[in-house]
Chains A and B, each alone.
Chain A
Amino acid sequence: MNPVTRRRFLVLGGTATALAAGAVGGLAWLRGAAPDVAGLHVLTAEQYRTFAAIARTHLPRGGAFPPGADDFDLARMFDGYLADQPTTDRHDAGLAINLVEFGPLLFDHHAVTFSNLPPDAQLAHWSGWGTAQQQTRREIFWSFSRFLGLTFYDHEAVWPHIHYPGPSFARLASRPAEAP
């Protein structure tokens, strides 16, 4: 991350983390405690809840086809992914998640956090990250949406709905080999 961007990111993310910790004005109640989640490696239960809400917003159930992010627990996959990442990346990812959680408060000045918004408002808020003035927010949007798109559409339960027949090697046996 660019030093300028990174500094700005750390300030923004740090602010959100401070809010998360309730250090500024005791606002942690806004977010509320998340239920315990067993087996997490990197994310806290609150961060897991936020990422699951982002995933659900990005890839909701229904619409063009039934499965959505909630069917595959993409937040746990993200936690597993982070477990193999260097420490700075894990730290940055945590800050980014906190920033999204407190996004409605920091950027829209609404006294509510992302996980507590109704689904329509979550979609409007998250879509706004892709086109936001702040470069940091756009970068976070792309990072998360890349991860979500990759893992969701790599799932075999999604393939019939996007007319993808699955890995072709398995279909190879029925096809004659080409001449060299």
Chain B
Amino acid sequence: MNDVLDCSAGEFAPNDLTCDYLVIGSGCGGGTAARVLAEAGKDVILLEEGGDFVGPTRLTQRDTPMYDQLYTDRGGRTSKDRTVNILSGRVLGGGGVINACDVVPIHDATWAYWQKHHGWSEFSAAAMASYLQRALADLSANRIEERQVNRNNQILRQGAQALGWRGELMMHNRVNCQGLGSCLIGCPASAKRNPRMVAIPKALSAGARVYVRARATRIREAMAERKRVEVQTLDGKGYHPVNRFAIDARHVIVAANPVGTVALLRNSGLGNDTLGRHVSLQPQVPIVALMPDPVRAFDGIPQAYALTEFERHDPDVGLTGFRVESIFGTPGVLGSLVGQPGAAGKALMAQLDHVAASLILIPDQPVGQIGVRRDGRPEVDYTLAAEWKTRARQAIKAAAQAYFAAGAKMVVVPAAPPLVLQSTAQLAQIETLTFEPGTISLISAHQQGGARLGASDATSACDLTGQLWGTRDVFVCDGSVFPSTSSSHTMTPIITMAHALIDRLVARSA
């Protein structure tokens, strides 16, 4: 079995490399692609700009170093107007390393919507069923058990049940979970069956070569039989360039997450006018509740219960409505959401062990756009739609109602100044939220689109095999291929889609 090669290591001497299949980005899409190709006997190189973080000595459960090392732009990437904090992984295994492990496949209605409205004729729920099964097997998907539900999740469920609202314990990809609670900054117990723990070891065993701290900067000669991909190696911290080398590859598979994928393709001068457009950020609103008794939400699986009463699946619209899911993290990330300076902010944090918290997931239409700035760095232009804002206010009201029904003393929406509600009598105050830039802290964990697949180059960036229009054997295989939001959670959809696309590629080359 090959080892992961760290390009920041002192002895690494970059020589130009050659392969048949170069995969750029090692997350849910890229990790799966590398593994399927390698197991099919192909000659594969997998490149990852982040480092390799496994086990308790590297995954320290500390906010500052972990956001610094595991997240893109150290967790600081935002939309152009800074309204949405765009979170994604930058580590071997990508978002799977830092995600909340929820397994939510693409709904049949969404497949139907894409077939009917986006020309995805070949991708019906039935045709994709075997790929979904493969994804679920990769993830060891299983239902969270009752004994794993911590107080934070019980509170949201209690509130939903008191109001007669539907909800469920979610499926997840943890095995031997110790309930450490730090999923969002990596699992030191290696309980997540993510690409780092499943696809990448399998790719290595099957002969793939895996390089970390290696950033692809440009794809050249995209119409030629052999492409030349320029690579920048990075230092141990991952923020300073060290060296350069090139890879000569017959096929290039870009799986760098929607923002990274579009940026790389644009910086390479590739793609049509649709590339970078139709981006969904699926903004999420955090909400916290102060409970009369200790919650200790930092212990146990952070996201186990979902209030799904208001989620809608429509073959003519796709996913809409909203859902509420309990969440918690380490103190730093919660502290970063407190937009109240002075003693008042400290007083709020002093009650951390009495706090219950959720994220409200509000699917959006793909209204965003990814571009590149003059310095080559990506820029995400995203304006919240009026319809989304209306739904968001309804969603915040529902979440607040659930918390009050569960006995909350106070409900807070992190804004500047924070919106503080003492009872349901004050729910009307939620109407005052304008969502204007800089007034509220929104989070995106599920970026999708930007290189959507389609049957025509007038309306899509890639054809239905994932090949970028106007190139020869340059493919996209990550969350950017979806024409609209695929699911409330994107890991399973992306792994499913990667299996389908790479299967076709293998079949084609055979």
Contact = CB atoms under 8 A, between A and B. Distances in A.
A5 B336 contact: no
B338 to A, nearest CB: 6
A44 interface: no
B305 to A, nearest CB: 19
A137 B336 CA distance: 17
Interface string B332-361: 111111110111011101101100000000
A152 interface: yes
Considering residues B81, B338, B346, which has the most beta carbons from chain A within 10 angstroms of its beta carbon? Answer: B346
A62 B343 contact: yes
Considering residues B342, B345, B377, B437, which has the most beta carbons from chain A within 10 angstroms of its beta carbon? Answer: B342
A150 interface: yes
Interface in A64-120: 64-65, 77, 81, 84-86, 88
Contacts of A177: 176, 178
Nearest to A130: B416
Given A2-B80, A60-B343, A162-B331, A65 B182 contact: no
Contacts of B331: 153-154, 158-159, 162, 164
A88 B373 CA distance: 11
- By secondary structure, the A interface counts as helix
Contacts of A60: 342-343, 346
A63 B347 contact: yes
Nearest to B298: A164
B332 A151 contact: yes
Contacts of B237: 84
Nearest to A57: B341
Contacts of A81: 74
B346 A167 contact: no
Contacts of B438: 135, 137-139, 141-142
Interface in A12-63: 57-60, 62-63
Contacts of B439: 131, 138
Contacts of A150: 63-64, 67, 332-333, 335-336
A165 B352 CA distance: 11
B416 A153 contact: no
B62 interface: yes
Contacts of A151: 64, 332
A139 B352 CA distance: 26
B374 to A, nearest CB: 10
Contacts of A153: 63, 331-332, 334-336, 349
A146 B179 CA distance: 27
A59 B346 contact: yes
Contacts of B61: 167-169
A161 B352 CA distance: 9
Interface residues of A, number: 53
Contacts of A180: 175-176
A110 B117 CA distance: 59
Given A135-B81, A143-B82, A164-B353, A172 B337 contact: no
B277 to A, nearest CB: 18
Interface residues of B, number: 59
Nearest to B178: A172
B64 A138 contact: no
A119 to B, nearest CB: 9
Contacts of B416: 130-131, 138, 141-142, 145
Given A149-B338, A169-B188, A163 B63 contact: no
A169 B180 contact: yes
A62 B181 CA distance: 29
Considering residues B181, B349, B417, which has the most beta carbons from chain A within 10 angstroms of its beta carbon? Answer: B349
B170 interface: no
B352 A164 contact: yes
B350 A64 contact: yes
Contacts of A147: 336
B417 A152 contact: no
B330 interface: yes
Contacts of B175: 180
A152 B339 CA distance: 14
Contacts of B505: none
B339 A130 contact: yes
Contacts of B80: 1-2, 5
A84 B241 CA distance: 11
B427 interface: no
Contacts of B437: 5, 135, 138-139
Given A145-B336, A153-B349, A168 B176 contact: no
21 contacts: A5-B437, A63-B343, A65-B350, A84-B237, A88-B375, A126-B341, A130-B341, A138-B439, A142-B416, A145-B416, A146-B441, A149-B335, A149-B337, A150-B64, A152-B335, A153-B349, A162-B331, A165-B298, A167-B182, A168-B298, A169-B61
Given A60-B342, A141-B438, 12 more contacts: A2-B381, A58-B342, A58-B345, A85-B239, A86-B377, A130-B339, A139-B81, A142-B416, A146-B336, A154-B63, A154-B64, A178-B177
Interface of A: 1-2, 5, 57-60, 62-65, 77, 81, 84-86, 88, 123, 126-127, 130-131, 135, 137-139, 141-143, 145-147, 149-154, 158-159, 161-165, 167-169, 172, 175, 177-178, 180
Interface of B: 56, 60-64, 67, 74, 76, 80-82, 85, 175-182, 188-189, 237, 239-240, 294, 298-299, 330-339, 341-343, 345-347, 349-350, 352-353, 375, 377, 381, 416-417, 436-439, 441
